[in-house]
Amino acid sequence: MRISIGADHRGFPLKQQLVPWLRSQGHEVADVGTTSDQSTDYPIYASQVARQVAQGQAERGILVCGTGVGMCITANKVRGVRATVAADEALARVSRQHNNVNVLCLGEKTEPAAAQKIVATWLATEFEGGRHSRRIDEIAEVERAESQVSNKC
């Protein structure tokens, strides 16, 4: 699977551990940065990863910041992205099954072994479709309606 990954300075150490692990699992990884633990702004990396996912350049995205929340908020601003913060495997699983989440956000304090389990579960879980497809379509309709309102302003 092609995965785009990004982090701010706080998420940098965990990202640096996830990238080689993802590659060892057979995934193609596009690392958009950051490249150090020097202070930087998370929206830069969240928007890059989200755009790659929305444009089909990556099948999924992973973002890491202090809590995962800022990355999640930013990624969800990109049309076609459904991002979530997942602190455990159960949340990662249901986010895929029910919401077809395509960007996973993690907090920097997540232990690497736990992060690997969360990511592995998220990557392996398929969208269930069915009644959930209708809801995903409704989310897309909200996005379309909001973009039309924004374009009129």
What letter would DSSP give residue 67?
Answer: S
Contact 7, 45 (CB under 8 A): yes
**Could you say which of 65, 72, 105, 132 is catalytic?**
65
**How far is it, in rounded angstroms, from Cα 78 to Cα 54?**
7
What letter would DSSP give residue 1?
Answer: -
Q: Specify which residues 2 forms β-bridges with.
A: 28
Q: 65 an active-site residue?
A: yes
Q: 98 an active-site residue?
A: yes
Q: How many CB atoms lie within 10 A of CB 100?
A: 17
Residue 146: strand, helix, or coil: helix
| Residue the block writes with tokens 């909200």 | 142
84 upstream amide cis, omega within 30 of 0? no
**Could you say which of 9, 27, 72, 98 is catalytic?**
98
**Would you name the residues annotated as active-site residues?**
65, 98
